[in-house]
Every structure is written in structure tokens, then in C-alpha cells.
Amino acid sequence: MYEAKIIESNLSNGLLSAVVEFKDSEGNDVFTERFETTRPQTQDWLNQQITAKIETVTALDAIRKSIKIGDRIIYVERAETETPERIEFKNDLDAFHRLVSAAQQGIVDRNSQEFIGLRDKLKNNFIPEYLDLF
């Protein structure tokens, strides 16, 4: 299990940051992480961030302990999952990401027919199996 200690807190130029030191119970793994936000948060925001990080590194440590050095790995070829619909969705998603970037730079209007049409097409064709494309 990991424990955490807040070692620094700062508010500068509208950016709230906190540096947290994490340490495993044996003291073998010690690292720091900076958590930052520019948006209003609840009082519990930092605790939620720290808890999520502890859960993640604890799970990773459990996986590390299950890895056996010297085990043989057998390669199993994956089945092809690229359907024409999935490829089209991926291409549309890539194009939409470019449009979003252009809109953020003021080049494309978010109310343009191209932007709205592509966004709506993605919404209408989304299925949970496409989550890995994001």
C-alpha cells in the first residue's frame, strides 16, 4: 500500500498546484507528482486525485508482483477487428479532432455546418466498442 504526503501547494497566475510525495509501505518506491487545476474545485478535489493515484500505483504494484522473471511468453495473433464502419468512424474522429483544433485557434466556427455535421455523425454512429479510438 502507498501513502501520500502533500509537500507543496501554490497558486500562481490562476493555476493551483500541489506536489504530493508517494511512498510504498516498504519505502522502496518514492516519487512525487504535481496535481494542477485552473478550474474551481470542491474541497475534496485533491484528496480524490491522491486517492485515485494511490489506487493506480497499488494495482500496478500488484501486477508487478505477479510477473515472473524468466517466464516464456507465447505470441498469439490477434483477430482482425477493423470493420469498414470502424475505419470510417476512426477517420471521421481524426477529422473532427483537426476541426476542434482549428476551432480552438479561431480558424473554424463551432457553429459551422461542417463542424456540427461531423459532430452529429460521430454521435449517431458511436458504439461502446469504439472507446479505444479516443
Is residue 71, in this structure, part of any structural domain at all? no
Count the neighbouring beta carbons within 10 Å of the beta carbon of residue 60: 11
Tens digits of residue pLDDT in 73-125: 887 776 666 888 988 999 999 999 999 998 888 898 989 899 899 999 999 98
**22 is a domain residue:** yes
Provide the strand spans (E) within the chain: 2-12, 15-24, 30-37
Domain that holds residue 126: 84-133
- 77 domain residue, yes or no: no
Residues 6+ apart with CB under 8 A from 4: 20, 21, 22, 23, 50, 53, 54
Q: How many domains does the chain have?
A: 2
Instruction: Select from 16, 32, 66 the last residue of a domain.
Output: 66
Q: What does the pLDDT look like over 26-84, one tens digit per residue?
A: 888 999 999 999 998 888 999 999 999 999 998 998 888 888 888 888 877 766 668 88
